[in-house]
Amino acid sequence: MVGRTLNSRYELEQLIGTGGMAEVYRARDNLLGRTVAIKILYPQFAKDPVFVERFRQEAQAAANLNQPNIVNVFDWGIEDNTYYLVMEYVEGRDLKDIILLGGPLLPERVVEISMAICLALDTAGAHGIVHRDIKPQNIIATNDGQIKVMDFGIARAAGGSAMTQTGTIMGTAQYISPEQAQGRAADPRSDLYSLGVVMYEMLTGKTPFDGDNPVSIAYKQVREDPLAPSLLNPDISPELESVVMKALAKNPENRYQTAMEMRSDLERCLEGAPVYATPVLSPDDVTRGQTQAYVGGERRPRGRRRAGWFWALAIVILLAGIATGAWAIIRSSSGVAVPNVVGQKRADAETLLARKGFKMNISKTVIDATKPKDTIISQNPEAASKLEKGGTVKVVVSKGPELVTVPSVIGMSQSEAEAALTKAGLVPGEAQQAFDAQAAKGKVVSQSPQAEKQVAKGATVTIVVSKGQETAIVPDVTKMSKDAAVTRLTEAGFQADAQTVASSTDIEGIVKSQNPAGGQTAPKGSRVTIDVTAKPERVAVPNVVGIVRATAESTLTGTGFVVTVVDQITSDTTKVGKVLVQNPTGGTMADKGSTVTITVGVVGP
């Protein structure tokens, strides 16, 4: 394959990877002059018309995913039954290599990577795309530390109906969700389960489940509970462990419902704040939930022990319920209902709470791209709860989106500009093309928003790339009238410079010649000189007989004639150097620009 050019455009340079469905090549896009990655599907997939149609639909959908943490899909096509995807070429290492070579990652780095993956999954979900194959091999850490998720849409196109196709597990068994392992439909929450597996592996160096074959691993995904990751890595905080275990819930309803919900809990981990995920506790402390990890790898109680635990815990729950109900009754009889201030501006919320007799305390402010600055994100106690007058309502206030400065990309190539914008946390929009006489072809000539402007992180920046100076074919305007020639050149995008040439033989007012000549290519807006014929002016020929040669020539050329000199020997020394004869004779009317011949006397040998 190396050396082959696809679609007369993409030249395959080097094989850089292989997978279950395709080979990946580094290639050169000869049209745009950039390096790309091309995924070429194996021939057996090209023979399945159902797969081909899904591949086409998903490739087009994936091409619409424009987000800094997603490896962009630029193009797709087919040539000689070879189906291929053209993707962004990313220099870096996948997470699998990083974990294998360096072992578990620092928890803080795991949180940062996972937050970036959540942003990618959120964008995919908004476009109706389920990845279905989230795994460390599909997550790239670039050389500058950025995280990018690749292969969006491919797993879905190959998987079609959930995770199976003709009895074969699609996706990697260690990372598929329980519903995928059971052949049920996958949704965005399935990708969050797979992300939970990836987080588990980043934190411990191991996947939650492993086995001798994919079937045994898939069985464990459905039936067994994972060992608490903190037993393998004590540096994992309880909050982070709770996030991982919530993502690994067997029932999708018990997981995070959206990628941004999971990202919010991860952000709380980073800030040291409590998370919404249920803490992981031992069975001695609380009943096991849907995805309870047992400390020390304890197994579920069996037989009488299970029954004993059941009745003991049932009694505890019953007593707790009675106590909670009694407390609710007591509280309901006193206090004032707390108003709902979520979504309100800070000043308005404070005013409303004060009017109801409450104080407001800002517990923290957080960056939130979805909420305007100074907007209340959450409150405690919640709305409608009873609180004694004078009590304090704690609120979390949005700082608004994280702001970044738009870098100047004027004068850069398109790939350089897109890389600079992505590095700044911005999303390069679809590049527009425009002719520009001043900028070299392929260079950015304008951008919106402009450089140095403060915008929300993740905002889109549109660039205009120069197509170079526009050229056109110069029309042939010879033998046209002056006016017709000027009109024709103007319509073609050129400026006409007309100059007159005298001609006694040509029709007056006709273009005799032009420069550049017709048929040549020239920059639009450049000048084309046209020579327009005109009848010569009639003037009297000066009489120069008897005048010295130099004076005669000066007089004739000054009148507009061309002078030709003929020497004639004379024995009269007084006539040496003087005009003896001229033709036409002095006083004759002749065309200006015509030739006057003078005969000048010279000394003989």
Dihedral of the alpha carbons of 324, 325, 327, 331, in degrees to the nearest 10: 130
Which tokens go with 109?
């780095």
User: Looking at 368-470, which runs of residues are DSSP E strands?
Assistant: 376-380, 386-387, 392-400, 403-405, 427-428, 432-434, 444-448, 454-456, 460-466
Answer yes or no: are the C-beta atoms of 432 and 462 closer than 8 Å.
yes
Q: What three-state secondary structure class fits 224?
A: coil
For the record, the structure tokens of 471 come out as 């050229």
d(CA 211, CA 230): 21
Q: Is 279 helix (H, G, I), strand (E, B) or coil?
A: coil
- Helix (H) or strand (E) segment spanning residue 361: strand 359-367
Instruction: List, in sequence order, the alpha helices (H) in 83-208.
Output: 95-102, 107-126, 154-159, 178-181, 188-204
- By C-alpha distance, which of 188, 95, 198, 109 is closest to 139? 95
Could you give the strand order of the β-sheet that contains 495-502, starting from the edge strand earlier in sequence?
A: 495-502, 527-534, 511-515
φ and ψ at residue 461, rounded to 5 degrees? -115, 125
Q: In angstroms, how far is the first alpha carbon of the chain from the final one?
A: 89
Closest CA to 168 of 159, 177, 176: 159
- CA-nearest of 502, 510, 505 to 484 is 510
What lies within 8 Å, CB to CB, of 19 at 6+ separation is none
**The pairing of beta strand 460-466 with beta strand 427-428:** parallel
The reply, when asked if residue 39 is annotated as ligand binding, is: yes
Among residues 488, 507, 511, the alpha carbon closest in space to that of 498 is found at 511
Q: Is 48 a catalytic residue?
A: no
DSSP lists the bridge partners of residue 403 as 456
DSSP string, 532-575: EEEPPPEEEPP--TTSBHHHHHHHHHHHT-EEEEEEEE-S-GGG
Q: What tokens appear for 181 in the block?
A: 């392992």
Beta partners for residue 471, in sequence order: 523
Closest alpha carbon to 596 in 569, 564, 557, 574: 564
- The answer for residues whose C-beta is within 8 angstroms of residue 231's C-beta and 6 or more apart is 295, 296, 297
How many Å apart are CA 251 and CA 177, to the nearest integer? Answer: 10
A 10 A CB-CB count for 596 gives: 24
Q: Is the Cα dihedral 479, 484, 488, 493 positive or negative? A: positive
SS3 content of the chain, % helix, strand, coil (to 5): 30, 30, 40
Q: What gap in Å lies between CA 32 and CA 9, rounded to an integer?
A: 9
Which listed residue (94, 122, 133, 225) is catalytic? 133
Q: Which residues are catalytic?
A: 133
Q: Which parts are annotated binding residues for ATP?
A: 39
Q: Which parts are annotated binding residues?
A: 39
